[in-house]
Structures are given as structure tokens and as C-alpha cells.
């Protein structure tokens, strides 16, 4: 069974107002102090809590895990550790793809981030977004590129499932995932072409770097890529999920897509060679509507109801899900999202009920979202 690990970018908001706070260093320091004083039990070890692009963000990551219950436990444990540390400095942790409310947010200072700020200007200051990145084991770069070629048409569906950024900077954006719009501002973001081999992948990355636009290889912000540090495929398209159950669902589907693609590659099944501009349109549709409208169906390239497209996805990865024992879990999760809505729906319900001009009500709504983040 392939292992998987999840990175979550989380917002730090004021415990009273719900507005972003530049407290990442204080939160990481508090978490480290608590761990030093009372180390986590053996079943809670693995993973980390660290800094991100903005001082109003932190990033957690789980260790590589095989079972969905173990992944659920690890994600909840890291959210809880972050919550506890944040409360010590007057903040709460919020899983949202964008900051629902406006507030002061500064870019972290480091040599690399300073160089990025010099190169990209205002965009760096505005790029306050939080994603959910899933790493899935592959046997090596040959299988990895074979997987990348065969999952690229399906990846936008993970965005629709995870959509969790309807408000940004105190404005209802009309998108279910406005984070996707923000992410696509990076010149190196978006879908990869079909590449066919590790050599072709390397030439493509080197050609991007030769333009002098990305600062380094870590800035190849494609929807999915080979990890530079681990023998994994990293799928980067999802919003951070309000509900841990949705993050686990995204991870389960990511692993199933990787396994299905690896089998197709081994059997010589040709990938769906959908042009990258069409995949950008599919991503736009997924970010605009989430599961509340239609999505682009990967096999046909046509717009179809979200429920029908998710049924096609479930059929596509069905054998892989049955082999890991995850099929019933994923099927129930997709049904739940179609019935109850994504994190974006939950956010919009609370924020719309508060009203755009009632600051106290909006603050209470964001604090409520932060409680949902950690299962309170």
C-alpha cells in the first residue's frame, strides 16, 4: 500500500476579532516549548509545525502514513497542537484557503523570501493563501512522471471537493475557491503538459528556470510535481479543508489517482492528452463553483453536473480504492459533500448570515469557523 502525507497551511487569526495576526514565530516557539516540556506520545510523533510565506500562517505536515484513520488522527493532532500554541499568544487557528477578513499580514523575512519579494513585488504581500498538499509514494521518477501524465486531467476535481475560500479580505468573491484565482497569479503555476519521461520532465523544469522567472525549482508551482526531497508525487491543487474529514478524503482520492495512474503507466495505457489551457479552464470552473454547479468531465472534456462527474471519478479509481479498503469511506465522503456542501458553503452560510457591514457578527463567524477547524 502506498503511503501518503499531508501538508496543511493554516491561518492565524485574532482570538477575538478573527482578523489575521502576524504571530507565526510566537506560535511555533510556543509549540516547541510545549513539546519540550511534555513530548507527544509515541503514536502522536512524526510531522512538524513551521513557518510559511506570511507571518499570519503556519504549516503542518504529517509523517508518511498508510491508513485513513491514522491520517485523520495525525491531522487532528497537529491542528490541536497548533490551536493550543496559538491560544497562548491570543490567536486561533483557521483552516481557510484565504483570509475571510481583512487585516495586517506581513511576509516572513528570510534571504529567499526577500529575493521573492524583490522579484514579484506587490503580489507577494497579497498572496495570503492556504493549500493542502498531498504526497503519495512512487517507486521512482519513471513511475512518477507516468503518474503525473495520467492524473493531470483529474486533479481539478480535488479542488472542487476541497473548495474552502469563498470570502477574501472581507469580500464575498462569488468563487468557492478564490485561492485558486490567487494561486494562478504565480507565473509558474498551473497544469504540466504530458511529458512522457523523467528526462523530458527535467528539460521542462530547466527550461522554466532558464527564463529567470521562477527563483528556483521550489517555485515550480504546478498542480502536481515530483518532490525534490522525497520519492513522491506532490499534488498541490486543493484548498486547505475546513473539516479534517475532507482533507482525509482528498488524500484518499489522491492516493487512488496515483495508484490508478501507475497501473495504467505500467500497462502502457496512454494518458488523456488534454491541452493545458483546457485544464486551466477546468480548474477555473472547479474553483468558481466547487460542487455547487457543473464540472468539466475529464474523459469527455464537457461540462456536466458535479454529482455525475464525481461518479465518473469514483468509477475511475474504484479498483485502487477497493484494494486499499477505502472505497466505502470515499463513497460516503463524496455523498456527504454533495448533500451538505464543501467548506466554502459552510463559510458562506456563516459569513453571509453575519452581513458584510456588521464587524462584530463577522468576527464571531470567523471565530466559529476556527472552532470548526479543530473540531470544537
CA distance 41 to 183: 37
* Angle, alpha carbons 187-188-190 (nearest 5°): 100
**Domain at 4-351, CATH class:** alpha beta
Looking at residue 355, its pLDDT comes to 87
pLDDT single digits (tens) 350-364: 999 998 889 999 999
CA distance 64 to 229: 13
CA distance 127 to 55: 12
Nearest to 313 by CA among 323, 298, 335: 298
- Burial class from Cβ neighbours inside 10 Å (0-12, 13-18, 19+) for residue 190 reads middle
For residue 87, give Cα distances in angstroms to 13, 26, 108, 208, 373: 10, 11, 21, 42, 14
Q: Which three cell numbers stand for residue 220?
A: 515550480
pLDDT single digits (tens) 3-45: 999 999 999 999 999 999 999 999 999 999 988 887 765 554 6
Task: Indicate yes or no: pTM above 0.85.
Answer: yes
Supply the DSSP symbol for 76.
H
CA distance 180 to 191: 12
Over residues 170-186, the mean pLDDT reads: 97
CA distance 12 to 51: 11
CA distance 154 to 130: 21
CA distance 40 to 222: 35
Q: Show the DSSP H helices in 193-326 as ranges.
A: 198-210, 244-267, 276-289, 306-316, 318-324
CA distance 310 to 305: 9
pLDDT single digits (tens) 132-175: 999 999 999 999 999 999 999 999 999 999 999 999 999 999 99
Looking at residue 45, its pLDDT comes to 60
**DSSP string of 201-214, one letter each residue:** HHHHHHHHHHTT-S
pLDDT single digits (tens) 296-346: 999 999 999 999 999 999 999 999 999 999 999 999 999 999 999 999 999
pLDDT single digits (tens) 57-94: 999 999 999 999 999 999 999 999 999 999 999 999 99
Looking at residue 334, its pLDDT comes to 98
Looking at residue 40, its pLDDT comes to 67
Those residues whose C-beta lies under 8 Å from the C-beta of residue 141, and which sit 6 or more positions away, are: 198, 201, 226
Nearest to 196 by CA among 263, 259, 153, 150: 150
Radius of gyration of the chain (CA): 20
Question: Would you list the domain boundaries of the chain?
Answer: 4-351
Angle, in degrees to the nearest 10, between helices 306-316 and 244-267:
50
Nearest to 145 by CA among 12, 37, 255, 258: 258
Tell me the backbone φ, ψ of residue 239, rounded to 5 degrees.
-65, 150
pLDDT single digits (tens) 269-306: 999 999 999 999 999 999 999 999 999 999 999 999 99
At residue 349 the predicted structure's pLDDT band, cuts being 50, 70 and 90, is: very high
Nearest to 297 by CA among 149, 151, 157, 152: 157
Amino acid at each position: 500500500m502506498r503511503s501518503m502525507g499531508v501538508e496543511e497551511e493554516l491561518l492565524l487569526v485574532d482570538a477575538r476579532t478573527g482578523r489575521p495576526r502576524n504571530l507565526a514565530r510566537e506560535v511555533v516557539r510556543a509549540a516547541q516549548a510545549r513539546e519540550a516540556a511534555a513530548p507527544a506520545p509515541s503514536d502522536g510523533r512524526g510531522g512538524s509545525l513551521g513557518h510559511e510565506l506570511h507571518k499570519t500562517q503556519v504549516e503542518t505536515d504529517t509523517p508518511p502514513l498508510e491508513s485513513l484513520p491514522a491520517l485523520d488522527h495525525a491531522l487532528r493532532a497537529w491542528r490541536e497542537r497548533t490551536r493550543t500554541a496559538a491560544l497562548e499568544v491570543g490567536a486561533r487557528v483557521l483552516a481557510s484557503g484565504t483570509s475571510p477578513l481583512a487585516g495586517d499580514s506581513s511576509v516572513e523575512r528570510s534571504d529567499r523570501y526577500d529575493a521573492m519579494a524583490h522579484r514579484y513585488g506587490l503580489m507577494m504581500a497579497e498572496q495570503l493563501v492556504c493549500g493542502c498538499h498531498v504526497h503519495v509514494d512512487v517507486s521512482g521518477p519513471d513511475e512518477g512522471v507516468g503518474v503525473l501524465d495520467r492524473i493531470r486531467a483529474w486533479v481539478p476535481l480535488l479542488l472542487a471537493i476541497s473548495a474552502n475560500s469563498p470570502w477574501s479580505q472581507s469580500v464575498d468573491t462569488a468563487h468557492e475557491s478564490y485561492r485558486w484565482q490567487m494561486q494562478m497569479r504565480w507565473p509558474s503555476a498551473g497544469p504540466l503538459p504530458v511529458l512522457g519521461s523523467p528526462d523530458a520532465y527535467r528539460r521542462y523544469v530547466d527550461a522554466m528556470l532558464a527564463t529567470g522567472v521562477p527563483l528556483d525549482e521550489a517555485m515550480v508551482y504546478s498542480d502536481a510535481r515530483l518532490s525534490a526531497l522525497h520519492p513522491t508525487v506532490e499534488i498541490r491543487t486543493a484548498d486547505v479543508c475546513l473539516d479534517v474529514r475532507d482533507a482525509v478524503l482528498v488524500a484518499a482520492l489522491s492516493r487512488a489517482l496515483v495508484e490508478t495512474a501507475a497501473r495504467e503507466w505500467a500497462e502502457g495505457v496512454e494518458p488523456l492528452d488534454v491541452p493545458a489551457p483546457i485544464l486551466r479552464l477546468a480548474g477555473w470552473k472547479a474553483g468558481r463553483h466547487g460542487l455547487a454547479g457543473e464540472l468539466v468531465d475529464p474523459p469527455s472534456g464537457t461540462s456536466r453536473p458535479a454529482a455525475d462527474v464525481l461518479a465518473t471519478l469514483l468509477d475511475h479509481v474504484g479498483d485502487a480504492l477497493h484494494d486499499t479498503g477505502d472505497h466505502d469511506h470515499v463513497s460516503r465522503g463524496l455523498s456527504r459533500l454533495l448533500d451538505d456542501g464543501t467548506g466554502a458553503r459552510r463559510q458562506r452560510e456563516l459569513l453571509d448570515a453575519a452581513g458584510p457591514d456588521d464587524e462584530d457578527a463577522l468576527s464571531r463567524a470567523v471565530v466559529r469557523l476556527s472552532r470548526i477547524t479543530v473540531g470544537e
